[in-house]
Structure 1
Amino acid sequence: MTYKVAVVGATGNVGREMLSVLAERQFPASEVVALASTRSTGREVSFGDKVLKVHALDYYDFKGTDLVLMSAGGKVSKEWAPKIAQHVPFIIDNSSTWRMDRDVPLIVPEVNASVLDAGIKKGIIANPNCSTAQLVVALKPLHDEATIKRVVVSTYQSVSGAGHEAMDELFRQTRAVFVADPIEVERFPKQIAFNVIPHIDEFLDSGYTKEEWKMMVEVQKILDPDIQVTATAVRVPVFIGHSESVTVEFEKPITAQRARAILREAPGCLVIDKHEDGGYITPVECAGEDATFISRIRKDPTVEHGLSLWVVSDNLRKGAALNAVQIAECLINRKLLED
């Protein structure tokens, strides 16, 4: 069986990565269509060894399309996903628009693929926040073993999570520092080159940012509503790859050695944890990789049952494009997407 697939937002960072992952994983597509805004009509994007012409979302006829992968932002998703769902069996959306909708499954395949079997009422499946995706991949096997009570996470998020313009700004500012040009701040609230910014997305009345709130509520929806989560989201001058410092409190005892063994066998996880110089993963090594890398696993001595760990993943892949394609593969494997 093969399927006609449309990628909405095909010219963006995640959209391009979706096309790349579809080709790499040899997704059974009879046809792949690249869609974007009208101003991108006629542009070319790569799909494996092919080049696709971009079509305008506004004028595209979705009849006959089996699956849509969307990464065009919240406003576009809110307007277009319900319209597309009238003609297409399934939409996998990467924006935050539908994540907390009770009738929309929020899926990380290694963690909660079985939720899909309960039905997809609106025809929409949500991809989680990029930082949430890698976090729950690491937490799920530990939760199954010792039941997580509380998670404290600080993120170190790359600029690619904010799009092309953010990556360009980091490049321009870095160059400006070396040649002593003025630093121009446009995409971020402060200089990002040689700096860190503890602010991603808008501030809420609680004092948390929306990015932090997303992580907190999404972990509960995906993994367990009883888990308490507090997050601090920080933007760092890295082009690709999100890192997380995670401290976990459990109900039951669990040693660092046992956690290492569990995570080595867990789907989607790769443990690199040597107590020596360089015996851990950084964003440079994770770029272009599918795994969620876990390092620095150690006992947290401040609580009765606690561990601390370091989690790194390519945010454009597991945090977005790869996860979306894995959801599509789940639909096929569970016989939910029929030819």
Structure 2
Amino acid sequence: MSKVNVAIVGATGAVGTKILEKLLERNFPSSSIKLLASKRSVGNEIVAGGQQFIVEETVPESFDGVDIAFFSAGGNISKMFAEEAVKRGAVVIDNTSAFRMSETIPLVVPEVNLDALREHKGIIANPNCSTIQMVAALEPIREKFGLNRIIVSTYQAVSGAGVEAIDELESQSKQFENRESIDAKILPSAGGERHYPIAYNVIPQIDSFDSSGYTLEELKMINETKKIFGLKDLKVSATCIRIPVVSGHSESIYIEIDKEGVTVEELRETLVGVPGIVIQDDITTQSYPMPLFAEGKDEVFVGRLRKDPDHPAGFHLWVVSDNLLKGAALNSVQIAESLVELKTF
């Protein structure tokens, strides 16, 4: 297998550090790994997998000789440097929303639409974390029974908003317990006019609102799901909610399949043994997915499978996954592994 020169842009962030860990843990065939970040992080030392790495500044010349570049430093940085990296010979795997809905850029979850990688022109988009775990869980069902409607409510961890949001949850929890005034600067949207505490709270807003009344996070899930499945007419609606959990996104999903008369047992059987999917669905032992127990694990966990009482082809399920792993870093690394296997980098 060919050895690959790798760069990670945003290497000091929550997702960037996980990408490095996964590359080393999964023995990705890299000949070198370059860690890139902003000027203020230059010279920082990161230790992972028993190896020492020194952070460098992200500049155009950083991508000379790089084969695969992971971007996870925000959309503006991706727009600034991704095409430059491609010009210098790298294939970019971008973990921001900068390119996801571009018609010429594949949006990939390897278990769902691997063939899309063959069409890349230098940039590959990694989907939104909530989208990834949902389509991974639904793909085996879609493939066997068809799919025409999805209604999803997400319960998303604060780590999805970055390290600062995690810190704010911890500081707000202490302030609440000490009966101090609670300082909120990050959520629901750092650039928004108003901020609310997340400690001991639930916020029904992730990102800013569109004129339709949906948030940008909800629109990402709607549009990305249709693109990944290749189903423009698929009915999708989402409500995205932030909860006071550090890691692990949870989703309550209602689906309508194309075929009536399917039992819960038949639906469950389509998910048994699927790589990357773990069934936790035994109400007699109170076995169901929870974010506390999904943290640090690569899989997507599925449970609470039920038939809808009123729709003959409707089902409900509960899906949980670590948003920093399968929802971000792991999926990015799996894309890179697929590029190497397909020899398309």
Residues 66, 90 of structure 1: 8 Å contact kept: yes
Runs of 4+ aligned residues of structure 1 deviating over 4 Å after TM superposition are none
1:245 Cα deviation (Å)? 0.2
Letter of the 1:25 partner, please give it: R
Q: Which amino acid aligns with 2:271?
A: L
Alignment of 1:102-181 (within 5 A): 102-117=103-118, 119-121=119-121, 123-181=122-180
Aligned mates of 2:138, 2:130 — CA distance in 1? 12
* Equivalent-residue separation in structure 2 for 1:302 and 1:76 (angstroms): 48
Indicate yes or no: 2:190 matched with 1:183: no
**Is 1:195 matched up with 2:201?**
yes
CA–CA separation in structure 1 for the residues paired with 2:87 and 2:137: 36
Aligned with 2:267 (options 259, 275, 280): 259
Cα offset for 1:267? 2.5
In structure 2, list runs of 5 or more residues that go unmatched: 188-194
Q: Secondary structure at the match of 2:148?
A: strand
Paired AA for residue 198 in structure 1: P
2:313 corresponds, among 299, 305, 311, to 305
Which residue of the partner structure matches residue 322 of structure 1? 330
Aligned counterpart, 1:18: 19
Aligned pair count reads 335
Is 1:70 the counterpart of 2:71? The answer is yes
Q: Distance in 2 between matches of 1:52 and 1:276?
A: 49
- Give the CA deviation at 1:242: 0.2
Give the SS at the match of 2:137.
helix
Q: 1:82 to 1:280 in 2, by over 3 A?
A: same
Contact 1:176 1:182 in 2 (8 A): yes
Counterpart selection for 1:218 from 210, 224, 231: 224
Mapped to 2, the partners of 1:329 and 1:236 lie a distance apart of 33
Matched, 1:280 2:288: yes
Structure 1 gap segments, 5+ residues each: none
Amino acid at match of 1:174: S
**Distance (Å, rounded) in 1 between the aligned partners of 2:61 and 2:166:** 30
Amino acid corresponding to residue 120 of structure 1 in structure 2: H
**Shift, 1:266, TM fit:** 2.0
Contact 2:198–2:243 (Cα < 8 Å) also in 1:
yes
- Residue by residue over 1:14-61, the C-alpha shift from the partner in whole angstroms, topping out at 9 and shown as x without a partner, is 000000100110101111010001111011223311121100002643
Aligned mates of 1:191, 1:61 — CA distance in 2 = 39
Cα distance in structure 1, aligned partners of 2:181 and 2:66? 49
Alpha-carbon distance in 2 for matches of 1:140, 1:290:
17
Q: Structure 1, residues 109-128: CA drift from partner, whole Å, max 9, x if none?
A: 000011112x212x000000
Query: For residues 177-206 of structure 1, what are the alpha-carbon distances to aligned partners after superposition, in whole Å with 9 as ceiling and x for unaligned?
Result: 111121111111211001100000010000
**1:214-254 deviations in whole A, cap 9, x for unaligned?**
00000000012221100000000000000000000111132
What residue number does 2:52 align with?
Answer: 51
Query: 1:143 Cα deviation (Å)?
Result: 0.5
**What TM-score does the superposition give when structure 2 sets the normalisation length?**
0.95
Aligned partners of 2:60 and 2:81 also within 8 Å = no
Report the CA distance between 1:88 and its aligned residue: 2.6
CA RMSD after TM alignment: 1.0
| Normalised TM-score (structure 1) | 0.97
Separation in 2, partners of 1:295, 1:325 = 26
Distance (Å, rounded) in 2 between the aligned partners of 1:316 and 1:32: 20
How many angstroms apart in 2 are the aligned matches of 1:258 and 1:239?
Answer: 34
Name the CA distance, whole Å, in 2 between partners of 1:59 and 1:125: 19
Q: CA contact under 8 A between 1:68 and 1:88: conserved in structure 2?
A: no
Q: How does 1:1-16 map to 2 (within 5 A)?
A: 1-16=2-17
C-alpha distance in structure 2 between counterparts of 1:51 and 1:187, whole Å:
32
Q: Is the 8 A contact 2:10 2:37 kept in 1?
A: yes
Q: Which amino acid aligns with 1:181?
A: E
1:79 corresponds in structure 2 to 80
Q: State the identity %.
A: 46
Structure 1 residue 318 displacement after superposition: 0.4
Which residue of structure 1 lines up, in the alignment, with residue 276 of structure 2? 268
